[in-house]
Homo-oligomer: A and B are copies of this chain.
């Protein structure tokens, strides 16, 4: 059962997407009116509308009111929302398959140990996967995870979703990530697996993912085909 502010947020979001508030120059009803409609206090309405502001769907002006913002552009490429946690397997894409190129254990070097908050030379999984969508190569992933934190990883898990294994089998919760995104020249391995020409680049995402107790559990590099992935983000200053 969602809390009340979340229900109101979802209802309002759907209304905005349905274009309900187009009529009065994109203006939403004022807060007191919404309080009456949803039978709640102003604080609860504000919490719901603040979520819409964070989504970039509305903006609010003291003394004026709250207004729907024009929608952003769409794109035919795979679209990664910056604030999305889900792995590729759980994205809106269908037909995601994985090809495991390499799966072995190694001793953590300084960098990996540092990122995963473990000791140098502690054992880690070293996973090399190619992810395909509709049989076409999309991304080449190099992933390091601590074996003691994430026990029992095997080919079967890797062929499906590691994130599902962590959340459903190990019953951990994934809390978030830290990401660095950059462009890079493709190397021979990229060219081979992603079927790129040697002049074509990749979009690299370096990521540390955290569990809900704050422990980093994954350090990875994902090299995406430059022409099939883009990152999407919205951000609104408090106004």
Please, which residues of chain B bring their CB within 8 A of the CB of A56? 176, 178
Q: With the chains together, A208 CA to B231 CA distance in Å?
A: 14
Is there contact, CB below 8 Å, between A67 and B214? yes
Interface residue A21 (Cβ < 8 Å from any Cβ of B): no
Q: Per-residue CB proximity of A100-142 to B under 8 Å, as 1/0?
A: 0000000000000001010000000000000000000000000
Query: A132 to B168, alpha carbons, bound, how many Å?
Result: 49
Residue of B83, B85, B201 near A226 (CB, 8 A) is B201
CB pair B182–A231 under 8 Å, yes or no, is yes
Given the known interface contacts A237-B174, A239-B175, the answer about A199 and B185 at a Cβ–Cβ threshold of 8 Å is: yes
Contact (Cβ within 8 A) A178 B234 = yes
A24 at the interface (CB under 8 A from B): no
- Do A85 and B237 have beta carbons less than 8 Å apart? yes
- Not counting A26-B214, A59-B176, A183-B226, a sample of 4 additional A-B residue pairs whose C-beta atoms are within 8 angstroms of each other reads A82-B82, A178-B232, A182-B229, A200-B201
Show 22 residue pairs from A and B whose CB-CB distance is below 8 angstroms, ordered by the A residue.
A59-B176, A59-B214, A61-B213, A70-B117, A73-B178, A75-B180, A82-B233, A173-B239, A175-B236, A177-B234, A179-B231, A179-B235, A182-B203, A182-B226, A182-B229, A182-B230, A183-B184, A201-B226, A212-B237, A212-B239, A231-B231, A233-B233
